[in-house]
Amino acid sequence: MAGGSVTECKEYLFKVLVIGELGVGKTSIIKRYVHQLFSQHYRATIGVDFALKVINWDSKTLVRLQLWDIAGQERFGNMTRVYYKEAVGAFVVFDVTRGSTFEAVAKWKHDLDSKVKLANGSPIPSVLLANKCDQKKDSSNNASLMDNFCKETGFLGWFETSAKENINVDEAARSLVEHILQNDKGLPYEESNGDRVRLEQDPATAESKSGCC
């Protein structure tokens, strides 16, 4: 970076969890946000555990957002620590057309807070998503109730979203990322984890394995 005259761009990698009850639209929201896609019915999507969204946050900041879906299969028991490890933010999703999925939100939030914390010990920032708002029947507005709920349960805030109609998905993500960036000031990914090793196939190994030495 020394002598870099043109851009001094900071790059961040954020792991964000997307959790909530069965069928509330977690995968749909990710697909909408990352791939600009929506579909009414899904085939089993197997072998994909997170999606990556690259955001040019501002002229000096590049954010790489890893959105981790829960493997539907983990729903019977706990998720592995691997899933929660080093997450810096979360979306908890419920389905506005099914009250039971809202009732489970507090449970998810509690589970989340018990499994992952920021380095300083505080809970990771999380945003509540009231999904499928395109299908909301009664227009009864209980915004203040929701505000209160968020305060009590420790959410930054909430958004009515629709993965189908592309309502508020970007807004919700922006609000979460903004918060994460605030938490994380001055700690770009590369620098904070300097001496950690990721395993990758190194070309030299492939060769030296086959012969000589």
Partner 1 sequence: MASDNLPSEFDVVILGTGLTESIIASACSRVGQKVLHIDRRNYYSSKWAGFNFNSLLSWIEEYKSQQGSQSTEDEAEWRKTLEDGEEVLPLSADDSFITNLEVSCYASLEAEEEVKENEEATETLSPAAPSPTEPEEETKGKGEGESSPDVTQETTTSGETQHTQEDGGCGVQEEGASQDAGQSEEIEQKEQQEDTTAGPPSSAKEVKKKKITYADLVKEGRRFNIDLVSKLIYSRGSLVDLLIQSKVSRYTEFKIVTRILTYRQGRVEQVPCSRADVFASKQLTMVEKRMLMKFLTFCLDFEQHPEEYQEVSDQPFWEFLQTKKLTENLQHFVLHSIAMVTKETCTEDGLKATQHFLRCLGRYGNTPFLFPLYGLGEIPQCFCRMSAVFGGIYCLRHSVQCLVVDKETNGCKAVIDTQGQRISCSHFVVEDSFVRQRWKNTEEGHISRAVLITDRSVLPADSDQQISLLTAPPLEPGGPAVHVVELCSSSMTCMPGTFLVHLTCSSKGTAREDLESLIAQMFYVPPSPGEELAEGDERSGRPTVMWAMYFNMLDISRMDGSNGFDLPSNVHVCTGPDVNLGCDYSVKLAEKIFRQLLPEEEFCPPAPDPEDIIYEGVAPQGEGSGFEENPKTEGSPLQSEADGLENHPESEKEAAEVEAPIQETPKEALKEDASPSEE
Ligand X SMILES: Nc1nc2c(ncn2[C@@H]2O[C@H](COP(=O)(O)OP(=O)(O)OP(=O)(O)O)[C@@H](O)[C@H]2O)c(=O)[nH]1
Using CB under 6 A as the criterion, which residues of the chain lie in contact with ligand FAD when the complex forms?
22-23, 27, 42, 44-45, 49, 69, 71-73
Site string for partner 1, 103-142 (x = CB under 8 A): -x--xx--x-----x-xxx---------------------
Among 1, 5, 36, 140, binds partner 1 (CB under 8 A): 36
Residue 33, interface with ligand X (CB under 6 A)?
no
Closest distance of CB 32 from ligand X, Å:
8
Closest separation between CB of residue 143 and partner 1, Å?
26
Q: Are 156 and 175 in contact (CB under 8 A)?
A: yes
132 vs 167: CA distance, rounded Å:
9
**Are 86 and 125 spatial neighbours (Cβ–Cβ below 8 Å)?**
no
Residue (63 or 129) nearer to Mg ion, CB: 129
101 binds Mg ion, rule: CB under 5 A:
no
Token pair for 38: 């929506």
Residue closer to Mg ion (CB basis): 49 or 58: 49
Is there binding between residue 178 and partner 1 (CB under 8 A)? no
Partner interacting with residue 202 (select from Mg ion, ligand X, partner 1, none; CB below 5-8 Å by kind): partner 1
Q: How many CB atoms lie within 10 A of CB 122?
A: 11
Q: Does residue 21 bind partner 1 (CB under 8 A)?
A: yes
Q: Which residue is nearest to ligand FAD (CB)?
A: 72
CB atoms within 10 A of CB 146: 18
> Which residue in 1, 31, 37, 35 sits closest to 18, CA to CA?
31
Alpha carbons 41 and 164: distance in angstroms, whole number: 11
How far apart, in Å, do the first and last CA atoms of the chain sit? 37
Measured CA distances, 31 to 56, 144, 196 (Å) = 19, 30, 31
Out of 17, 20, 25, 27, name the contact with Mg ion by CB under 5 A. 27
Using the rule CB under 8 A, give the single segment among 47-55, 128-136, 141-149, 154-162 that binds partner 1.
47-55
Using CB under 6 A, pick the residue from 15, 109, 132, 179 that binds ligand X.
132
Residue (of 84, 94, 91, 156) closest to 114 by Cα position = 84
Per DSSP, the three-state class of 100 is helix
Provide the binding-site residues for ligand X, judged by CB under 6 A.
20, 22-28, 40-42, 72, 131-132, 134-135, 162-164
